[in-house]
Homo-oligomer: A and B are copies of this chain.
Amino acid sequence: MPELRQNPATKEWVIIATERAKRPEELGTGVINTPPNAKDSCPFCPGNEKMTPHELFSYRTYGTAPDTPGWWIRVIPNMYPALQPQGNPDRVEIENLFLCMNGIGEHEVLIESPEHTDSLATMSQKQIEEIFLAYRERYIAMSQDPRFEMITIFKNHGLNAGTSLHHPHSQIIATPITPMHIRHRIQEAMRYFDDHGSCVYCDIIEKERKLGDRVVAETENFIVLEPFAARTPFETVVIPKTHASTFDSIPPERCKELAYVMRLTLVKLSRSLNSPDYNYIVFSSPCHERSLEYYHWYIMILPRVAAVAGFELGSGIYINTVIPESAAKFLRETPFE
């Protein structure tokens, strides 16, 4: 059973999940345990559905059975889960200092396409729309569980971004705690709201539209920006222009527009940076803290083109070698279609 532990000095939680472990001698290699990845033995390829746990959700051809081919998006429990759904969320304090709890939660994999070599920068806008619709379905399903506080949707693309599985997939993790990393963001946004009477993200959108030089693209409901204080070269955010604090508040019909914007952004990043490894993360308020006036959901895309070294780990200050305005100009001028 995984375990959640809190650092008593920093209040940061970690997951101790030894089911994913290697022996110490193997750790030095830097390679993470993963299932085999040749196409014929890929557990995410059609025909290999029996290699995975039973599917939780899919978009599939009428009349085809679960756990058989016929799907074009398939959601399954992670085969090496960081958290498991069984158990209660009681917390235990050891020696009046060390707080821990059962590692309960959900850890799902969303297989984004039946095609082993597909990627978000090459697939159709319709496919991306359905990926986001499926994220939304799973977000809503997980948020029904009162034990879960945060739902994190994220994608690791490429070895530098933390995956060695080629078959395109994202992950969704529900945790029974709101981590300090998110709480700090919420606190800062709350303080801004109390000071200014407005959402800091809404104000950023307004000022960035006025200034223009960090805007990569804009549609009716979304804006793509290089943040003023981007931490790494070509860090990019996709922000809904209408205020909403949780991801699942996106109207389903708006996922088409989001898919257009995400595809545009990922194609431009891919062309600009020579198909970089990247992560994206859907930031959202805790799932039971809904309709917050001061917080705003958005998607952060982080190309993994710079190393995180001791200074970043120690100080939290990132050194970015590309001026965000230059990156935005470069992306604006990169052709899309």
Contacts and interface: CB of A to CB of B under 8 A. Distances in A.
Interface of A: 5-18, 20-22, 24-25, 27-30, 32-33, 82, 95, 97-98, 150, 152, 154-156, 160-163, 171, 173, 175, 179-182, 184-185, 188-189, 192, 200-201, 203-204, 207, 210-211, 227-231, 233-234, 272-277, 279-283, 300, 302-311, 313-324, 327, 330
A64 to B, nearest CB: 30
A16 B228 CA distance: 10
Contact of A27 (B7, B15, B27, B303): B303
A305 B185 contact: no
Given A9-B189, A9-B192, A14-B231, 7 more contacts: A14-B319, A14-B320, A25-B273, A27-B274, A27-B276, A154-B309, A162-B308
B281 A318 contact: no
B8 A171 contact: no
Give me the 4 closest cross-chain CB pairs, A-B, nearest first: A181-B316, A162-B309, A154-B310, A281-B314
A13 B316 CA distance: 8
Contacts of A33: 321
8 contacts: A8-B228, A16-B323, A24-B327, A27-B305, A30-B276, A30-B304, A163-B309, A302-B313
A99 B317 CA distance: 15
Contacts of A306: 27, 32
A185 B310 contact: no
A333 to B, nearest CB: 11
Contacts of A9: 185, 188-189, 192, 200-201, 204
Of A179, A182, A320, which is in contact with the most chain B CB atoms at under 10 Å from its CB? A320
A44 B311 CA distance: 20
A28 B276 contact: yes
Contact of A14 (B14, B234, B313, B317): B317
A24 to B, nearest CB: 5
Given A22-B321, A27-B233, A27-B305, A8 B204 contact: yes
B317 A15 contact: yes
Contacts of A5: 228-229
A320 B273 contact: no
A9 to B, nearest CB: 5
A280 B310 CA distance: 6
